[in-house]
């Protein structure tokens, strides 16, 4: 994922707190993806308006971690969601 690209959750894909398993999940058509803390933190910032670069900078400040590290950790995760059509991306 490039810094200027804008990720968005498409219709039919949403964050959901699974009260039974006490975990955040991403619900998508006929699939449920269990999220770890990092995955949940990233997707909570995805609003369809801010770019990937803006999101990683926000997370960097929030968690006091290097922005490059956050970009590296989250880029593969978001690309995988994109390939499964769980994430829309506009340039």
Partner 1 sequence: MTGIAPPIAMLAELTHRCPLSCPYCSNPVEMALQESELDTDTWVRVFQEAAALGVLQLHLSGGEPASRRDLVTLVQAARDAGLYTNLITSAIGLTERRLAELDAAGLDHVQLSLQGTDADMADRVGGYRGGFKRKMQTVEWINRIGFPLTLNFVLHRHNAHQLERALEMALEMGARRIEVATVQFHGWALKNRDALMPTRAQARAVTRQVEAARKAHKGTLVIDYVPADYHDDYPKRCMGGWGSTGLNVAPDGQVLPCHAAQSIPHLRFDRVQDKPLAEIWHNSSAFNAYRGTDWMAEPCRSCERKTVDFGGCRCQAMAIVGDASATDPVCIKSPHHKALQAQADDHAAQGDAPFVHRTAPGAAREPAE
Binding flag, residue 90, partner 1 (CB under 8 A): no
Considering only 38-46, 55-63, 68-76, 77-85, which stretch makes contact with partner 1 by CB under 8 A?
77-85
Q: Which helix (H) or strand (E) holds 9?
A: none
Considering only 45-53, 58-66, 68-76, 81-89, which stretch makes contact with partner 1 by CB under 8 A?
81-89
Site for partner 1 in 8-37 (CB under 8 A): 10-13, 16, 18, 20-21, 25, 27, 29-32
Instruction: Please report the DSSP string for 27-64 in residue order.
Output: EETTEEEE--HHHHHHHHH--SSS-HHHHHHHHHHHHT
What's the CA gap between 37 and 24, in Å, rounded? Answer: 8
C-beta closer to partner 1: residue 11 or 64: 11
């Amino acid at each position: 994922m490039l810094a200027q690209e804008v990720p968005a959750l498409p219709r039919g894909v949403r964050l959901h707190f699974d009260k039974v398993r006490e975990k955040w999940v991403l619900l998508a058509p006929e699939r449920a993806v269990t999220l770890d803390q990092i995955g949940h933190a990233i997707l909570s910032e995805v609003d369809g308006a801010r770019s990937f670069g803006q999101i990683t900078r926000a997370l960097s400040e929030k968690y006091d971690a290097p922005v490059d590290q956050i970009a590296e950790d989250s880029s593969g995760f978001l690309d995988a969601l994109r390939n499964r059509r769980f994430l829309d991306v506009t340039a």
